[in-house]
Amino acid sequence: MIATIAARELRSLLVAPFAWAILAVVQALTAWMFLVQIDLYLALQPKLAASAAAPGVSSLVAAPYLANAGALLLFFLPLLSMGLLSAEYRRDSIQLLFSSPISLSQIALGKYLSVLGFAALLVGLVSLMPLTLALATQLDLGRLAAGVLGMTLLLAAAAGLGLAVSARTRQPAAAGIITLGILGSLWLADAAGGPWFEWLSLPRHYEHLLRGLVRSSDIVYFLLLSALGVLSAVLALDERRSQGLGSAGGRLSRLRRRLAPLLTYALLSAATVLLAVLSLRYETSWDWTWTQSNSLSEPSLQLLDELPEPPRFTAYVREDRLLRQQVSDLVARYQRARPGIELEFIDPAHRPEMARELGISEPIEIEVRVADRRERVTQADEQGLTQALHRLLSQDRIWIVSLSGHGERDLHGQAGHELGLFGQRLDAQGLRVQELNLATTPLIPDNTRVLVVASPRGAWLPGEQDLILRYLDAGGNLLLLADPGGRADTGFLADRLGLQLLPGVIVDANAQALGLDDPAFALIARYPDHPITRGLDTLTLFPQAAGIQIESGSAWQWIPILRTSETSWNETQVLQRELRPQAERNEHRGPLDLGVAARRSLPQGEEVREQRLVVIGDADFLSNEFLGSGSNLALGLRILRWLSGEDRLIQIPAPEPPDRLLDLPPAAGAALGLGFLLGLPLAFLLTGTIVWWRRQRR
């Protein structure tokens, strides 16, 4: 009987010109949204191709399109549901249904399924457009399926609410307006703040499905709204039928009829709250994306299992919904992997004294706590949080000792040529920086993880040289930043390591092509496969750099990590307008090694210790003036992580989306535009006109 009612109601919708007009308008509007998203992606595609971690078509075309289309369909659905029962009241045909051998629940479900069937037709039309992109790219079908499921559940919930409102009024127009108001309130519910308003928000639950994350709590939310709508409609029908029976039965019977709906609604509300709480407490989720982008990587999962207790996160973020949502979504990945993880938001603007005391300066800063230890990060992604957890799990602090007293670059200095900004970022990453003057403290501490020699400008005393070489021979890790012309200051180290700095300054002919006036800039765009540079995919810039030459017979096994282009050379004369390499001046054509790394194993009792070294022919790339150029900061952090032995998490694997390339020929794009934007809407309008003409002839 339910199927019969649903089929009859759906048939009555399809023979109405109004329904075909809705199909035509929806198709035209969603097609325009779809084509706009494609144009935006094609314009961005060259830039996206240069980044290994860039999102693909499913993220930048399908998901935003489905989000906009879902909001649009919510506007049209009340037009379909407003007359489900209110029109029966207005025509006084409801009494015929009451007198028939059909239960009230069958009436409500039949009406509900009819509008749900038409909504399914709308979802099919909307989903067809992104599905056609599978012909031009390897579409993430799992994410698309989750988005389509989300849109279906969204419209199912809206149809249930529309049915409930239609069961309470005799005016279809009033039912449509009220339904639209309820849906708008639920759409904007999270603006009120608070966990319950966030749970009531329609887009919060829809957004998870658009990202390919299918959560049981989201499914329960939409099903609850749908069920509440249908049950409310059944109760409204029962009340209206009871009113039609008159006042027979006396005062006690009338009192019972009045109290029964109140008791029913109270029990229904209690059951709804209980189901909502249970769905959140016992939540299960499934990541349908191709690259598992909503899940933690294997290194992060292993690290969470090793922690003695669940970590606690405190995010210092202003009251900005997008920023806080970014942090919430990130931490939620950890919360799904391990229960008991807590997240607290603090607005620094509301606690200025705390912000000044903690030195909060970034838009997003997250404090990670495990037991009585804590770390603070400004890198709001999985790599940043996981590395913070890894440092908290480590039993000893990582000390970076920077030598001073000979004109070295200062890791706490604020001048343009100093390295103070880089020192601050090291501290934020949990790498503690300590300056050491060997003239006043003739001892390199045993807990030194990395010794930094940052472009000294003065001669070393023999005793100081001896301390550094003994540290090196004992297996200490070293970072040597050697600017051009620094042979007299770092020559003793270069001799021990078997290296030689090429004379002059590296000149790169590509610098002028990229708009740099000074030719003495070395640009690195391609990197070898090394733990330091793996995953680094953007330019690094080195002003006034020196080339490095590895001498034959070196006791170390050096691996180049930074190599200049073939259009570079080491210029030994005063830089002039016309430059070219000259072999008689000991100038070498590129590619030249600008940075090299080495490692070796040293026995230490019954264990074997690995020693690591990095030598860079430039210190300016980490200076306050140039740290923000390209990936200079990222490269510097990677070097120190690798030297300090933190390369276990130096690069969280980020699988490349399969749909990065959208190979859409102009002819195919024109066909999509004509078919979806003009063809289908005109076909729907023509069908509606024919339906109207036939009805007029009857």
Q: What is the pLDDT of residue 512?
A: 60
Residues of the chain with CATH 3.40.30.10: 298-377
Residues of the chain with CATH 3.40.50.880: 398-649
pLDDT, tens digit (0-9, with 9 covering 90-100), for 564-616: 888 788 777 755 545 555 555 667 777 888 999 998 888 777 777 789 999 99
- Positive or negative, the Cα torsion across 346, 352, 357, 362? positive
Residue 560 φ then ψ, to 5°: -65, 135
Q: Give the SS3 label for residue 171.
A: coil
Q: How confident is the model at residue 50 (pLDDT cuts 50, 70, 90)?
A: low
Q: Which of 538, 544, 559, 524 is nearest to 619 (CA)?
A: 544
Q: What is the pLDDT of residue 608?
A: 76
Q: How confident is the model at residue 661 (pLDDT cuts 50, 70, 90)?
A: confident
pLDDT, tens digit (0-9, with 9 covering 90-100), for 208-235: 999 999 999 999 999 999 999 999 888 8
Q: Give the SS3 label for residue 334.
A: helix
Q: Any idea which of 42-46, 124-128, 450-454 has the lowest mean pLDDT?
A: 42-46
Instruction: List, in sequence order, the alpha helices (H) in 359-408.
Output: 382-393
Claim: this prediction has a pTM higher than 0.75: no
pLDDT, tens digit (0-9, with 9 covering 90-100), for 458-473: 888 888 889 999 999 8
| Token reading at 456 | 């000294």
How far apart CA 323 and CA 99 sit, in angstroms, is 57
Listed in order, strand segments (DSSP E) in 422-530 are 431-436, 448-454, 478-481, 499-501, 505-508, 521-524
Mean pLDDT of 384-407: 81
Q: How many angstroms separate the Cα of 220 from the Cα of each of 177, 199, 226, 666?
A: 26, 11, 10, 43
CB-based contact 533:564 (threshold 8 Å): no
Burial of 401 (0-12, 13-18, 19+ CB in 10 A): buried
Q: What is the pLDDT of residue 61?
A: 92
Between 188 and 146, name the one with better pLDDT: 146
How far apart CA 407 and CA 126 sit, in angstroms, is 66
Mean pLDDT of 304-326: 88
Homologous superfamily of 398-649: Class I glutamine amidotransferase (GATase) domain (3.40.50.880)
pLDDT, tens digit (0-9, with 9 covering 90-100), for 252-300: 455 555 666 666 667 777 777 787 777 777 888 899 998 888 888 888 8
CB-based contact 400:637 (threshold 8 Å): no
What's the CATH class of domain 298-377?
Answer: alpha beta
Q: What is the pLDDT of residue 511?
A: 64
pLDDT, tens digit (0-9, with 9 covering 90-100), for 513-568: 665 666 778 888 888 888 888 777 778 888 888 888 888 767 778 899 998 888 78
Q: How confident is the model at residue 650 (pLDDT cuts 50, 70, 90)?
A: very low
